Structure 1
Amino acid sequence: MKRLVVALLLLPTAAFAEDRDYCPARPGLGTPACTIAPGRVSVEMGLADWTRDDSPNQREDTILIGDTLMRIGLTDTVEAQLGWTAFGHVRTRDKATGGVDTADRAGDALLGLKVNLHHPDGSGFSAAVQPFVTLPVGRTPVGAGDWGAGVVIPVSFDLGHKLSLQFSPEADAAVDQDGRGRHLAASGTIGLGLAISDSVSGTIEFQEAWDDDPTGRSTQALSSMSLGWMPHDDWQFDVGAVAGLNRDAPDAELYIGISRRL
């Protein structure tokens, strides 16, 4: 998988009869409503992602490398999605004893479709439906331990003056924390996007997520800021930061990534 992704990133861009402006799914917490043009492929990779989760009893640091999503344009309004996390490192420190546990794992795979319902290029008012399933090819604590499924319904509005409003509600059959069975989880993400220049865009987002895990219900509130730089029509580099706003949420997340359209 790693060799395939690297090869795709390095391939020259082919000429296609139909095209539209590149609209990567990253960065940020939400999901864009746009789809990739038919015959095009987008490879989007998190080069490095660090999350810190501090609780009264322990601190957990998670590092993900090569968190990759491949989007394949099938028709004018439909794209297929393949995702996989190549490597994850989880370090857990017990604050009472000082003991440290570490785990190095690959993550799970994702299979999905995005079906755009209006304006597949993401212009004006755009909406889509994105169902997906996750397959337990990895192991806990990076993988979930069982299959899961969900659906996202991304919506975006062009507000003019280089501003856009984005909303991404999601409902999941999320894997239980013990890796056996599923439960209901849901989230809502709202974001304000700004085209800072012809090649730089920024997004501010807020997300609230509800999780009804059998071990205990939780509600996470998050805020996020991200930047995308597109030095070429088919390349994007991005950075982002996420802050937890309540006790259930992870304290902080920092990431950097790259996207390439073929």
Structure 2
Amino acid sequence: MGAVAVTLKWSAVALLMTISSAAAAQDAPAVRFCPNRPSLGASGCTTLPGQVQVELSGFDWQRDDDGETREDLIRSEVTARIGLTSNSEAQIAWTPLGTLRSRDKASGDVMRQTGAGDVTLGWRRALSHPDGKKLSTAVQPYVTLPVGRSGIGEGDWSAGTVLPVFWRINKKWSIDFTGQLAAAVDEDGRGRHFDATGVFGVGYALTDSVTANAEVSVERDQDPAQHVVRTLAAASVAWKLTKRTQLDVLAVAGLNHDAPDARIALGGALVF
């Protein structure tokens, strides 16, 4: 009887431990982690209610050489995505620090401007699959407030709408398109004009935690000073360290004269 009692005792303990583990797993908060970074476009997924996803660009360098002037812009960016409902989130993006270096090639004169950039407020509403799986779509209106220093900020307010579409074909492949329509700030910092951008991308999962993306972006900018088309090619790699953290790198090259020549951005994301 003693052996039977011991066996029953330990069986009951094992059963209780199993039930407790299952209950703990059910009580553990779900995580929905699908950063926009490092894509040129946007994802169609939204952050869960009560969670905050932070996306950081610790180093973002861009060079633009038009033949007469060479501009180097170095900045840092932070975006907070705050879950509101199961299919919507609020977004706040800010450039806390930026440095613009302009060099006149004819005279050799160099001008530097340093300061904070503008603040962008947005709201994303997922139209399908807010978890980012299968065919995920969303609409994202936004407005940019001119709180930044001239040269780093745009100098006036702007607004627009982002329309991301993401299709996860299988565990390895995905394709995406992001359209953006905007009332962009004029080059002289006064007034606005129509600007449209389309980003086409293909993603491939190298491993369960590392994904590579290739993208092409085409922008039609109807600034009153000059109507231009900017075409970019981009390659990026994202490494998810955990279910809540990511490191990433983005490299961009201009494909025509009106596009910036090159850009490199290093950063990451986390959700809590």
**Aligned sequence identity (%):** 47
Following superposition, the deviation at residue 198 of structure 1 comes to 1.2
Q: Which runs of 5+ in 1 are unaligned?
A: 1-14
Letter in 2 for 1:234: R
Following superposition, the deviation at residue 34 of structure 1 comes to 0.7
CA–CA separation in structure 2 for the residues paired with 1:117 and 1:78: 9
SS of the residue corresponding to residue 207 of structure 1 reads strand
Q: Which runs of 5+ in 2 are unaligned?
A: 1-25
Following superposition, the deviation at residue 214 of structure 1 comes to 1.0
Matched, 1:232 2:242: yes
Following superposition, the deviation at residue 19 of structure 1 comes to 2.5
Following superposition, the deviation at residue 20 of structure 1 comes to 4.0
Residue in 1 that maps onto 2:201: 191
Q: Is the 8 A contact 1:16 1:39 kept in 2?
A: no
Letter in 2 for 1:46: S
SS of the residue corresponding to residue 160 of structure 1 reads coil
Residue in 2 that maps onto 1:78: 88
TM (norm. structure 2) is 0.88
Letter in 1 for 2:252: V
Match of 2:268 among 248, 258, 261: 258
Name the larger-Rg structure.
2
Match of 1:221 among 215, 231, 237: 231
Matched, 1:69 2:70: no
Kindly report structure 1 stretches of 4+ aligned residues shifted beyond 4 Å: 15-18
SS of the residue corresponding to residue 85 of structure 2 reads coil
Letter in 2 for 1:31: A
Residue in 1 that maps onto 2:63: 52
Following superposition, the deviation at residue 18 of structure 1 comes to 5.5
Q: Is the 8 A contact 1:20 1:121 kept in 2?
A: no
CA–CA separation in structure 1 for the residues paired with 2:28 and 2:157: 38
Aligned length: 247
CA 1:76–1:161 in structure 2 vs 1: closer, same or farther (change >3 Å)? Answer: closer
SS of the residue corresponding to residue 43 of structure 1 reads strand
Residue in 2 that maps onto 1:182: 192
CA–CA separation in structure 1 for the residues paired with 2:173 and 2:30: 23
Letter in 1 for 2:65: D
Following superposition, the deviation at residue 186 of structure 1 comes to 0.6
Q: Is the 8 A contact 2:203 2:211 kept in 1?
A: yes
Residue in 1 that maps onto 2:19: none
Range 31-40 or range 155-164, more displaced:
155-164
CA–CA separation in structure 1 for the residues paired with 2:38 and 2:116: 21
Following superposition, the deviation at residue 112 of structure 1 comes to 0.5
CA–CA separation in structure 2 for the residues paired with 1:163 and 1:37: 25
Letter in 2 for 1:249: A
1:8-47, aligned counterparts within 5 Å? Answer: 19-47=30-58
Letter in 2 for 1:205: E
SS of the residue corresponding to residue 70 of structure 2 reads strand
CA–CA separation in structure 1 for the residues paired with 2:57 and 2:234: 16
1:202-213, aligned counterparts within 5 Å? Answer: 202-213=212-223
Following superposition, the deviation at residue 246 of structure 1 comes to 0.2
SS of the residue corresponding to residue 226 of structure 2 reads coil
CA–CA separation in structure 2 for the residues paired with 1:183 and 1:137: 20
Matched, 1:108 2:106: no
SS of the residue corresponding to residue 48 of structure 2 reads coil
CA–CA separation in structure 2 for the residues paired with 1:34 and 1:62: 30
Residue in 2 that maps onto 1:5: none
Please tell me the root mean square deviation across aligned C-alpha atoms, in Å: 1.3
Greater fraction of residues in helix = 2
Following superposition, the deviation at residue 21 of structure 1 comes to 3.7
Following superposition, the deviation at residue 16 of structure 1 comes to 7.4
Q: Is the 8 A contact 2:62 2:74 kept in 1?
A: yes
Matched, 1:171 2:181: yes
Q: Is the 8 A contact 1:91 1:101 kept in 2?
A: yes
